[in-house]
């Protein structure tokens, strides 16, 4: 099955809509009531929404000399992966100046004239370039966001000619940023492997090894919205890949993570990355670690920029539960499937909650 060659209808640039001065959003962006931003339900009766946040992991303790402190931090990572599917990392080794520069160059890109951005307009065949929708269903309700998607790894797919050349510093900044975030991803995969009781290089090797893993960047631009209570910046979904390393907007919150029946708005820690487990690690860990639904709300007063770096398996390697994590009491929950086969689902249907990874369990049960 091939991905579609083109979009099913003319693409609507959300930033252009927002800057036109409209006071109501077009019907194409109005979500069904069940999918709109919700009021916190106070399921956690002893807390308020402001009290709840995803765990923050200090990576200096994972590489320090205090063995007791290291064990404590490893346990905190394991608990975050099992209970939240999300955590933030500080003291991660990536320069704060580089993080700031990466956000700034993309802000500058999205404020270039529309004709400059349209030179990089994408198609659903690879999604690479400047885009405004996910999924190719005609008549679908759309999200309130634009984005730029590029390949970083493997090197054979990295083509800087497809990256914006304005602002002029963008290509160099993103090349350096990608290199540093790939290194961070490798360190995090080692920690996750160790916590699963596997060899430290297990997950990296399952992804294809250092030279063959997949890594790509989606820069999200969420324009301010006159009716943020009716739409979403990005609909509810779990990430189809291995792991996501997100550089959030430093000024405006927007990411929400599902926690039971509630949606918790993540409060980014200064100079932290937000890391979340993707469907492929859920499969490899035989659901010891969970990919969790998340979504993005929009703001009536401010634009937002975030950089989502997807750390993925090589596209043609079969992904299945690690044999060490399969027992009589806990049989393999998922069939073998390549990442290429898997991601075709979201590329055609768009964000769909946890429907895709959960559908694999029923297929495995019936086989």
- Of how many residues is the chain composed? 367
Q: Check pLDDT > 70 for residue 342.
A: yes
Position 76 confidence tier, pLDDT thresholds 50, 70, 90: very high
Asked whether residue 77 is assigned to any structural domain, the reply reads yes
Q: What is the DSSP letter of 30?
A: P
**CATH number of the domain that residue 197 is part of:** 2.60.120.330
Q: What is the pLDDT of residues 269-322, one digit of tens each?
A: 999 999 999 999 999 999 999 999 999 999 999 999 999 999 999 989 999 999
What angle (nearest 5°) sits at the alpha carbon of residue 170, between those of residues 169 and 174? 120
pLDDT tens digits for range 51-70: 688 999 999 999 887 878 99
Domain carrying residue 341 = 56-359
d(C-alpha 56, C-alpha 84), whole Å? 12
pLDDT at site 7: 87
pLDDT tens, position by position, 100-135 = 999 999 999 999 999 999 999 999 888 899 999 888
Span 130-182, pLDDT tens digits: 999 888 788 899 999 999 999 999 999 999 999 999 999 999 999 999 999 99
Phi-psi region of 353 (alpha: psi -120 to 50; beta: other; left: phi over 0): left
The answer to whether 291 and 238 have CB atoms below 8 angstroms apart is yes
The answer to the question of residue 157 being in a domain is yes
Distance separating alpha carbons of residues 206 and 262, to the nearest angstrom: 33
Question: What domain count does the chain have?
Answer: 1
Is 14 inside a domain boundary?
no
Please state, in angstroms and rounded to a whole number, the distance separating the CA atoms of residues 35 and 30.
Answer: 9
Q: Which of 282, 279, 284, 94 minimizes the C-alpha distance to 204? A: 284
Judge whether 239 lies within some domain. yes
Residue 294 lies in a domain: yes
The answer to whether position 23 is within a domain reads no
10 in any annotated domain = no
pTM of this prediction? 0.92
Cα separation of 349 and 146, whole Å?
18
25 part of a folded domain? no
> What does DSSP assign to residue 246?
E
pLDDT of residue 365: 56
Contact of 240 with 293, CB cutoff 8 Å: no
pLDDT reported for residue 1: 36
Contact 46, 22 (CB under 8 A): no
């Amino acid at each position: 099955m091939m991905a579609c060659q083109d979009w099913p209808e003319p693409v609507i640039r959300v930033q252009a809509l927002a800057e036109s001065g409209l006071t109501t959003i077009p019907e194409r962006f109005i979500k069904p009531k069940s999918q709109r931003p919700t009021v916190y339900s106070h399921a956690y009766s002893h807390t308020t929404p402001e009290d709840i946040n995803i765990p923050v992991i200090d990576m200096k303790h994972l590489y320090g000399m205090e063995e007791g402190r290291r064990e404590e931090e490893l346990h905190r990572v394991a608990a975050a992966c099992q209970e939240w599917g999300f955590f933030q990392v500080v003291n991660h080794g990536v320069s704060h100046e580089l993080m700031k520069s990466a956000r700034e160059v993309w802000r500058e890109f999205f404020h270039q004239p529309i004709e400059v951005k349209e030179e990089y307009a994408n198609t659903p065949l690879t999604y690479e370039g400047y885009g405004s929708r996910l999924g190719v269903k005609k008549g679908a309700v759309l999200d309130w966001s634009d984005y730029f998607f590029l390949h970083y790894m493997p090197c054979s797919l990295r083509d800087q000619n497809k990256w914006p050349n304005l602002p002029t510093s963008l290509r160099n900044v993103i090349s350096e940023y990608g290199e540093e975030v790939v290194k961070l991803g490798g360190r995090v995969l080692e920690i996750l492997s160790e916590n699963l009781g596997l060899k430290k290089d297990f997950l990296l090797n399952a992804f294809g090894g250092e030279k063959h893993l997949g890594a790509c960047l989606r820069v999200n631009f969420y324009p301010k919205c006159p009716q943020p209570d009716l739409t979403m910046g990005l609909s509810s979904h779990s990430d189809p890949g291995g792991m996501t390393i997100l550089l959030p907007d430093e000024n405006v919150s927007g990411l929400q993570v599902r926690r039971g029946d509630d949606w918790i708005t993540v409060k980014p820690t200064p100079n932290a990355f937000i890391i979340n487990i993707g469907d492929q690690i859920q499969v490899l860990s035989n659901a010891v670690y969970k990919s969790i639904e998340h979504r993005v709300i929009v703001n009536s007063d401010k634009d937002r920029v975030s950089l989502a770096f997807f750390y993925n398996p090589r596209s043609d390697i079969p992904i299945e539960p690690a044999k060490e994590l399969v027992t009589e009491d806990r049989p393999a929950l998922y069939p073998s499937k390549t990442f290429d086969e898997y991601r075709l689902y979201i590329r055609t249907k768009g964000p769909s909650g946890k429907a895709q990874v959960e559908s694999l369990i029923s297929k495995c049960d019936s086989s």
